[in-house]
Amino acid sequence: MAKPESTPPPNFIRNIIDQDLKTNKHGGRVHTRFPPEPNGYLHIGHAKSICLNFGLAHDYKGPCNLRYDDTNPSKESTEYVESIKEDVRWLGFDWEDREFYASDYFDQLHQYAIQIIKDGKAYVCDLSAEEIREHRGTLTEPGNDSPYRDRSVEENLDLFERMRAGEFEDGSRVLRAKIDMASPNLNMRDPVMYRILHAEHHRTGNTWCIYPTYDFTHGQSDSIEGITHSICTLEFEDHRPLYDWFLDQLKVHHPQQIEFARLNLTYTVMSKRMLLELVEEGHVSGWDDPRMPTISGLRRRGYSPESIRNFCDRIGVAKRDSTVDIALLEHSVREDLNKQAPRVMAVLRPLRVVIDNYPEDRVEELDAFNNPEDPGMGVRKVPFSRVLYVERDDFREDPPKKFYRLAPGREVRLRYAYFVTCMDVVKDEKTGEVIELHCTYDPETRGGDAPDGRKVRATLHWVSASHSLPAEARLYDHLFTTTNPADEKDGSGFKSYLNPGSLETLTGCRVEPSLGGAPPGSRYQFERLGYFCVDPVDSSEGQLVFNRTVTLRDTWAKIEKAQAKVATVTEAPGQAKPAHPGKGTPAPGRPMEVEPIGEEISIDDFSKIDLRVGVVCEATTVEGSKKLIRLMVDIGEGRLRQIFAGILSAYPEPEKLIGKKVIVVANLKPRQMKFGLSEGMILSGGDADRLCTATFEGDPLPGDTVT
């Protein structure tokens, strides 16, 4: 029996598969597939599905197919087919020789349709699309039978054959399943199986003028390929009975469909229709515009495959729709690039600096670390000379309080070089703009330290004017100004939220000479500025173009810190009992003192905290820690969350917590601790002597929101 080689965190899908393996349901096989429709480029939501399907196959040592669900010729193309392959491969997955197309099954599907007609379970209907809709009924009212519902098998076979032969116009007839016009599930009210479409297909050309619907194709394609676990997003839950019905009629292999919640990200739209609109109307430069949530856009922006895979692991899979903060995606790439990206110096908005006491013809090659966090990445030489560039923002003629960088009379450190002091400021006579600084350097401070022990409060990056290379830098911000642009409830449409400042192009940047010949797509940290990659499309030897992948400032870490502060609950005096019986609420009548929080978060941030009821399923001590308990908590996601809580002093026998209901802060970024990943926090409070956790009994179910 296949078994995961490492132990990935459990989730409800793995639980189902484990169960199926135990009962030998599909002969012990696990076979998944990723089934894109080639009607657009893949986005980060698809990455979640790819990582899930290929990841499960890998862990259970089964195959995963790449299957194109290409049933709609008018919207599909080979450009999309090729881009999908490139993206899946780039993410690090391999479908080997299992590249399949639903269109390869058109003959088989046609045979299936005939079989269902012969069984008296399908009929040709002459109603128009509009009339079919009118007959369908509503959620509260049953539909009406089509007047063509009782055609004889012979007549249906004849009409279906003539549909196929091209005798009828588009839209004039369809083949429908004969199920139940009064079913509470609208998908079961005689759904369309085949429609007439005189359109050229990207693979089958003009062979067909009737095409199966997605609903009549998807389940059978899975069946034909011997898929065991057909994993799809929640919107297909209501289609499952229909897929089951088709498979039962046909008496063929029956995969198990399992639905999970699709990924939504803040400040992003994730529907291919909307993304296509952005491309077609020129709001972005193409599907691979670095502001797009597409895999090709993220790749061009400088995201590594590892960072995307890590992100997908982190968000996990759930049964409940939710929106992930885009800061978590940014955090993932920052974390990865921090390890991998060599550091270099680049000046985006150059200000010329002349070191007056430095010899005019001298050039020194100074040693610079490629990655201070990883000495193994070595050192490189950076040329230093009399005329340099520093960042315009690093000088203020009239420095405000706490501005420690360059200012008249001020001494600072130039990274890897010397201390310099600003002696004079040259301005443009007409505009008054600062155009040049004159400094002196202290030769004794070579390498960045003063032998007399004097300190400076700022270290600036710089490049040598004559050695540096010109470059363009593209600075990106969120494509939309609002967290959920697709939510069109005010009717203004998602495009009205486009961020006019989502791209700032800086020309005239200067980068250190080691970047000459940097390969397209290579990634760097520009010290103090952010992570950048060489634009694979527009950059060339003579004209370097860099995309800013992400800034160094980690907004996610900030959110997390603020949330951690807010989530501290202090016990009221005189209530020593750790377990608090209540009904649904954590601590009725109990004051909840909240620590003062930094000015960077507002009352809005409080409302973002997602408090959920959790049931403790496991609670154990943690080897090597005197404070921590490791909890496995069910918060209704179909998997358990691992949470490390510093509450051992209150629960010296942790197993007493098993079965208790606790309050979990569910939307914290998982934190990598020495002992493992901690995926949330449970509400506890107290002081040095007394600590307790808010636990309670009562009706609420795991995952219920606590207010």
Measured at the CA of 498, the angle between CA 496 and CA 504, to 5 degrees, comes to 150
3-state secondary structure of 256: strand
Contact call for residue 465 and ligand ATP (CB under 6 A): no
| Smallest gap from residue 277 Cβ to ligand ATP (A) | 12
Does the protein bind ligand ATP through residue 539 (CB under 6 A)? no
What whole-number distance in Å separates Cα of residue 298 and Cα of residue 613? Answer: 36
d(CA 691, CA 645): 12
Active site residue 577: no
218 binds ligand ATP per the rule CB under 6 A: no
State which residue, 308 or 382, has the beta carbon closest to ligand ATP.
308
From 149, 173, 171, 143, select the one nearest 160 (Cα to Cα). 173
Residue 189: half-sphere exposure toward Cβ, Cα within 13 Å: 20
Q: How far is the CB of 53 from ligand ATP (least distance, A)?
A: 8
Least distance in Å: CB of 612 to ligand ATP?
21
d(CA 267, CA 523): 24
Nearer to ligand ATP, 45 or 700 (CB): 45
Shortest distance, position 47 Cβ to ligand ATP, whole Å: 8
Judged by CB under 6 A, the residue of 9, 45, 255, 290 near ligand ATP is: 45
Determine which residue in the list 48, 319, 343, 580 makes contact with ligand ATP, applying CB under 6 A: 48
Residue number with CB closer to ligand ATP (231 or 422): 231
DSSP reduced 3-state for 673: strand
Query: CB under 8 Å to 623, separation ≥6 — which residues?
Result: 675
User: To the nearest whole angstrom, how small is the minimum distance from the Cβ of residue 235 to ligand ATP?
Assistant: 8
Q: Distance between CA atoms of 8 and 444, rounded to whole angstroms?
A: 55
Q: Is 608 a catalytic residue?
A: no
Could you say which of 14, 29, 37, 410 is catalytic?
37
Q: What is the DSSP letter of 224?
A: H
Residue from 153, 157, 270, 425 in contact with ligand ATP (CB under 6 A): 270
Residues 637 to 656: which contact ligand ATP by CB under 6 A? Answer: none
Per CB under 6 A, the list member of 17, 232, 569, 629 interacting with ligand ATP is 232
Q: In a 3-state reduction of DSSP, which class is residue 616? A: strand
From 176-184, 264-272, 332-340, 524-532, span contacting ligand ATP (CB under 6 A): 264-272
SS3 621: strand
Stretch that binds ligand ATP, among 176-184, 265-273, 471-479, 681-689 (CB under 6 A): 265-273
Rounded distance between C-alpha atoms, residue 35 and residue 45, angstroms: 13
Q: Is 233 in the site for ligand ATP (CB under 6 A)?
A: yes
Strands 411-414 and 459-460 come out as parallel
Q: In the structure encoding, which two tokens stand for residue 233, read together?
A: 């997003």
Record the tokens describing residue 644, joined without a space. Answer: 């490390």
CB of 271 to ligand ATP, least distance (A): 4
Q: Does 272 bind ligand ATP (CB under 6 A)?
A: yes
**Interacting stretch for ligand ATP, rule CB under 6 A, among 267-275, 340-348, 384-392, 393-401?**
267-275
Structure tokens at 565: 């502060």
Select 48 or 319, whichever has its Cβ closest to ligand ATP: 48
Question: If binding is defined by CB under 6 A, does position 221 make contact with ligand ATP?
Answer: no
Stretch that binds ligand ATP, among 29-37, 56-64, 204-212, 661-669 (CB under 6 A): 29-37
Work out whether 37 is an interface residue with ligand ATP (CB under 6 A).
yes
Q: Which of 75, 85, 121, 262 is catalytic?
A: 262
263 binds ligand ATP (CB under 6 A): yes
First to last CA, the chain: 45
Instruction: Identify the CA nearest to 323 among candidates 395, 280, 269, 377.
Output: 269
Q: Give the position of tokens 């694979």.
A: 536
Give the interface segment with ligand ATP, choosing from 262-270, 347-355, 434-442, 445-453 (CB under 6 A): 262-270
For ligand ATP, which residue has the nearest CB? 45
Nearer to ligand ATP, 233 or 483 (CB): 233
- Confirm or reject binding of residue 256 to ligand ATP (CB under 6 A): no
What one-character DSSP code corresponds to residue 105?
G
Catalogue the long-range contacts made by 170-174 (C-beta closer than 8 Å, 24 or more residues apart): 170/195, 170/196, 170/197, 170/198, 171/128, 171/129, 171/195, 171/196, 172/126, 172/196, 173/124, 173/125, 173/126, 174/124, 174/125, 174/132
Least distance (Å) from ligand ATP to the CB of residue 667?
18
Please identify which residue in 85, 110, 136, 262 interacts with ligand ATP, judged by CB under 6 A: 262
CA-closest candidate to residue 554, choices 671, 644, 463, 394: 671
Between residues 37 and 336, which has the closer beta carbon with respect to ligand ATP? 37
Residue 36 within binding range of ligand ATP, rule CB under 6 A: yes
Check residue 425 and report its DSSP letter.
E
Residue 272: active-site member: yes
Tokens of 303: 């995201």
Q: Please pick, from the candidates 9, 35, 73, 638, the single residue that binds ligand ATP as defined by CB under 6 A.
A: 35
Alpha-carbon torsion (312, 315, 319, 323), positive or negative: negative
Which residues form the catalytic set? Answer: 37, 262, 272
User: Which residues contact ligand ATP by CB under 6 A?
Assistant: 35-37, 45-46, 48-49, 232-233, 262-263, 270-272
